[in-house]
Amino acid sequence: MHELAICQALMEQVENIALEEQATQVTAIHLGIGPLSGVEPRLLEQAFSIARAGSIAADAELVVKSMPIQVSCKQCGQLTEALPSRLVCGSCGDWRTSLISGDELELTSIELVRDIKADESENLSAGSPVFTLVREESPEVQIYLPEDFTNQVRIGEPVVITVGALGGETYSGVIKEIGSGITGIGNTFPAKISITDATNNIKTGMTAQVTLALVNPNAGRLLIPLSAVSEDGSGNRFVYVISPEEGGEALLSKKIVSLGALIGRDIEIISGLETGDKVVTAGVNYVYDGQKVKISTQN
């Protein structure tokens, strides 16, 4: 079973971290598993009991957290949760979605023991420390996104983090979570960013500046002004495409189109047009299919 190979790779990663932290024991390993990861948690736990034998994590507990399935809708731009067998938008019900999370298998944190301060069978007075328990996990940055930006930020997108207290040192990170409700701090939504190349210099409570790229929610969509679309007697939606000819003239051709979402004053074209097509956007009720028109070069 491939779960054993996964656990063997996991143990190698855990042992490397424990060595870095000078730990003497690993007491717990925390994993995040998405329903679409192809990993069966029950089989993973069985494989873990085999893979951990004789390692620094021989007595460690495996803690598995089920991660939600989240999809981004290409129709309305919303980020919603979905079911494994039904990856549709939870907001508008459209099936044209992109999977954002739910197929991951990630090591989220481990719990380590280090700095043992007593020997076996040693007598200690009450209150004397015996060991230090450490929870090793990737540091995170909490930010608050203005509502206008929530549909332009995607989970998994890379960001750059600058920590002023460390002389402006920069780190790489990825957007881990985007909250679904406003925070009460203005009209903002909470988001968490995992620092992927963090060092021990980063401490809890430090402030950071986050630089991220906004994603155009309409990227890849073919949009035209709503005024360009007409409807014929058969209920077909159509536009007039301009095909330039010699002598500054052009031929108008009627093209049946399928419409998508209405976005402001524009409408999405699902089929019937190609990128680069020129269409009539004004006076569409005064022209007809096959008509020849003059192309004006004046502004």
Give the pLDDT of residue 217.
66
pLDDT (mean) for 132-145: 70
Q: What is the pLDDT of residue 162?
A: 92
Distance between CA atoms of 65 and 105, rounded to whole angstroms? 10
Q: Is the pLDDT of residue 79 over 50?
A: yes
Work out the average pLDDT over 191-204: 82
Candidates 201, 150, 198, 204; CA nearest to 174 is: 198
Q: Rounded to whole angstroms, how far apart are CA atoms 204 and 284?
A: 62
The residue with greater pLDDT, 48 or 204, is 48
Which tokens belong to 46?
A: 């069985």
Mean pLDDT of all residues in 135-150: 77
pLDDT in the model for residue 238: 95
Domains of the chain and any CATH numbers: 1-67+102-137 (3.30.2320.50), 138-217 (2.40.30.170), 223-294 (2.40.420.20)
pLDDT tens readout for residues 90-105: 888 888 888 888 888 8
Q: Give dist(CA 240, CA 257) in Å, integer.
A: 10
Over range 18-37, report the average pLDDT.
86
